[in-house]
A and B are shown apart, each in its own frame.
Chain A
Amino acid sequence: MSVRELSYGDAISEATVQAMELDSEVFVMGLGVDDYKGIFGTTLAAHQKFGNARVIGTPACENAMTGIAIGAALNGKRPLLVHARNDFMFLALDQLINNASKWKYAYAGKSAVPFVTRGIIGRGWGQGPTHSQSIQSVLAHFPGIYVAMPSSPYIAKGILMEGLRSSVPVILLEHRSLYSMKEPVPVKPYMYPFGQGLIVHPGKDMTVVATSAMVKEAVKAAHILKKEGIGLEVIDPVSIQPLDEKIILTSVKKTGYLICADTSWASCGFASEVSALVAEKGFRHLKGPIKRVTLPACPAPVSRELEEAFYPDYRDIVSSIEELIGRDLKIDLEKYREVDAFKGPY
């Protein structure tokens, strides 16, 4: 299989174009999908190739747009909705929750409305209270929709292509901070399934379940701790709903420890969900308390100094592990910090 390096954003773009080539019913819809920026470049190639007929710029109407996708999907179309920030999806919750997630069930399987919604999570550069939330747990609470958070270019391409042929309404939450991440991605179309997690870094001592941008923080923590003789097993569930319970429980059975690192808050969040899963079904394997690495319980601030204090990273994961083993490993964590090369605007 022919493979080359592709960025996260380019992988999404390629998946979009390939899905549109494979299925003439697929079309893209959203505010700005047809403008010169093309949602951080992800819709530019599709727009260039398929034009306004299949890449439809819309007014600002998140809720109606979602209902419109439902009506189109009901008639065999395959809409791909894009929200440049997932925070705007709060405006579409009525259609996502009251219509899309209930559709197949309430109509007894006689009709279905499969479509894909992409929403992008912001982080840093002063994105602030309403442009950097991470809404996976809100969405994954409701049966009837799939929610996934691709953490790498490979997964981003595969899961978008899978979503566009799924029989279920799908929500993909991408992370803006991952857009420049590069890795080898197959040229050909391929699918990454829902409900399948991934062991990103194998280890025998402790399990870290990490989502989205927290996956790379967890991997970084794993590299640091390896030098200390501690093996972290980093698991990326990829799919928030349906959840690959088995991969998590199998790992915890082996390690006896669980740390959940999520991009959102702790309260009623995904980290809490994974904790509950392990407490319910893996309790006897636990050798210590479960740790959650999540956002502090306040909205995202704007000031750089406050952002520093707000966002958890590899240092918080290492600290939580020090707490679990009951000693200070005396690692100079600061030396592993990367310079934030981002120049904005975000």
Chain B
Amino acid sequence: MPIDREFKKKLFAMMLKIRLAEEKVVEVYAKEQQMRTPTHLSIGQEAVATGVCLALRDDDQVFASHRCHAAYFAKGGDINAFFSELCGRENGSNAGRGGSAHLSAPEKNIHSSPILGGMVPVAVGAALAFQLNGTDQVAVGLAGDATYEEGVFAESLNFAVWKKLPVLFICENNLYSTNTHLRDRQPRSTICERVSMPELKAVSFDGNDVEVVYLKTVAAIKKIRQGRGPQFIEFLTYRYREHVGPNYDYDKGYRTKQEVDEWQEKCPVENYARKLVRAGVLKKEDVQELNKKYSAYADQAYQKALRSPWPLKEGLLENVC
């Protein structure tokens, strides 16, 4: 299935929007100290959330992990609510109660939570509800490579495959769990080899090519809507910045600058811009304009967040029960 020009622009624009919003976080996080929430940046990984979420319908549901900013935007989360949440304001996505790792937009069908594997069974439960209700919605569990080390994933996979539930498991493999490389956590076999079973063939693709991510997700979603049960896709990608926080960390010894550089050569956003310019989908000036536009969006949203009201202390106990 070819992707039309307009949709290619859409894929690019979403990745750029995410990148520039997060670059704004990088710019102000340490310097201005306004975002008092542990922040796991998706910089370098934008293609996965973008390609996956843009392959979904609005009523499909996404359940993301701690590294959830990209998925939040790609599923339609508002940029003002994003910056306000990071700045702890009442008009934040979670009214300052959830922070960076719980970014959510229930009306856009996205929830996030940072305990590894915590959202995987929730996605399966949403899929169970879809099956019981007879809708053709799909639930997506979007999580990193370490989530698939958690016991609850095995429980969730077993249940989902047994019940043939409409759920898509996405493994966003960025090679690292905090500061530990995959080879120091898992056997030599691949994640897909270990997840696969006769009823489910797990597949792995380049997660830095947004068109690949999009097309593979579209194919998986089609199978799921046909009633063929859960699908599992691993997308290989890489985060540039430290596990949590705005800095580079190749001087800390667990990975090399050379490795980071090599992955930056494969940058999903820049490479896609070049590709679209080469193909005549966008002109160089268009790319510059889009850069300006989304930079300004991020600036304005951050400034607006700083002017937004704090939650009232009287509201501390709201929404407990």
Question: How far apart are A325's CB and chain B's nearest CB, in angstroms?
Answer: 41
- Chain B neighbourhood of A312, CB < 8 A: none
Q: How far is the CA of A146 from the CA of B320 in the complex (A)?
A: 11
Is A153 an interface residue, CB under 8 A from the partner? no
Q: Which residues of A contact B233 (CB under 8 A)?
A: none
| A/B interface sample: 18 pairs, CB < 8 A | A61-B155, A61-B159, A64-B156, A68-B121, A74-B111, A74-B122, A75-B133, A76-B129, A77-B129, A77-B132, A94-B115, A98-B115, A105-B97, A106-B113, A107-B104, A108-B97, A111-B104, A143-B321
Within 8 A of B (CB), among A63-115: 63-77, 79, 94-95, 98-99, 104-111
Q: Which of B107, B129, B320 contacts A71 (CB 8 A)?
A: B129
Closest to A114 in B: B321
Chain A residues whose C-beta falls within 8 Å of the C-beta of B119 in the assembled complex = 67, 99
Say how far B225's CB is from chain A's closest CB, in angstroms.
17
Q: Check A71 against B125 for contact (C-beta < 8 Å).
A: yes
> Are B121 and A95 touching (Cβ within 8 A)?
yes
> A67 touching B120 by the CB < 8 A rule?
yes
Task: Assess whether A146 is in contact with B321, with CB atoms less than 8 Å apart.
Answer: yes
* B108-124 to A contact mask, C-beta < 8 Å, 1/0: 00010101001111111
Are B118 and A67 touching (Cβ within 8 A)?
Answer: yes
Give 1 or 0 for each of B60-101: 1 = CB within 8 Å of chain A CB: 010100000000000000000000000000000111011000
List 7 A-B pairs, minimum CB-CB distance, nearest first.
A71-B125, A67-B121, A64-B155, A75-B129, A61-B155, A68-B125, A108-B95
Please name the residue on chain A nearest to B126 by beta carbon.
A71
Count class of interface residues, chain A: 35 or more
Contact A106 B98 (CB under 8 A): yes
Contacts of A168 in B (CB 8 A): 321
Q: Which of B102, B125, B321 contacts A70 (CB 8 A)?
A: B125
Indicate which residue in A64, A106, A167 contacts B159 across the interface (CB closer than 8 Å).
A64
| Interchain CA distance A204-B132 in the complex, whole Å | 54
Contact, CB under 8 Å: A59 / B162: yes
B224: chain A residues within 8 A (beta carbon) = none
Residue of A nearest to B116 (CB): A94
The answer to whether A72 touches B159 (Cβ under 8 A) is no
With A63-B152, A106-B102 as known contacts, state yes or no: A27 contacts B132, CB within 8 Å. yes
Cα of A144 to Cα of B321 in the assembled complex, Å = 5
Chain B residues contacting A111 (CB-CB under 8 Å) are 104, 106, 111
A68–B115 contact, CB under 8 A? no
Indicate whether A59 sits within 8 Å of B152 (C-beta atoms), given known contacts A72-B126, A106-B113, A109-B318: no
CA distance A72 to B63 in the complex (A): 13
B319 within 8 A of A: yes
Q: How far is the CB of B207 from chain A (nearest CB, A)?
A: 25
How far is the CB of A35 from the nearest CB of chain B, in Å?
Answer: 16
Supposing A76-B129, A105-B320 touch, asked if A71 and B122 sit within 8 A by C-beta, the answer is: yes
A143-B118 in contact (CB<8A): no
- Chain A positions near chain B (C-beta within 8 angstroms): 27, 53, 58-59, 61, 63-77, 79, 94-95, 98-99, 104-111, 143-144, 146, 167-168, 242
Interface residues of B (CB under 8 A from A): 61, 63, 93-95, 97-98, 102, 104, 106-107, 111, 113, 115, 118-130, 132-133, 139, 151-152, 155-156, 158-159, 162, 318-321
On chain A, the residues within 8 Å of B159 by CB distance are 58-59, 61, 64-65, 68
Known contacts A27-B132, A61-B155, A77-B129: A110-B107 contact under CB 8 Å: yes
In the bound complex, CA of A99 to CA of B120 (Å): 11
Closest approach, in angstroms, between the C-beta of B98 and any C-beta of chain A? Answer: 4
Q: Chain B residues with Cβ under 8 A from A109's Cβ? A: 95, 318-319
List 10 additional contacts besides A67-B156, A68-B159; criterion CB under 8 Å.
A67-B118, A67-B122, A68-B122, A68-B156, A70-B122, A71-B139, A94-B152, A109-B319, A110-B106, A144-B320
Smallest Cβ distance from B221 to chain A, in angstroms?
18
Quick one: closest B residue to A194, CB to CB? B321
User: Measured between alpha carbons, how far is A102 from B118 in the docked complex, in Å?
Assistant: 12
CB-CB under 8 A from B121, the residues of chain A are: 63-68, 70-71, 95
Residues of B within 8 A of A68 (CB): 121-122, 124-125, 128, 156, 159
Q: CB distance B129 to A107 under 8 Å?
A: no
When distances are taken between beta carbons in the complex, the residues of chain B under 8 Å from A110 are 104, 106-107
B129 to chain A: closest residue by CB: A75
* Residues of chain A within 8 A of B152, CB atoms compared: 63-64, 67, 94-95
Please tell me if the beta carbons of A99 and B122 are within 8 angstroms of each other in the complex.
yes
A76 vs B128: C-alpha distance when bound (angstroms):
11
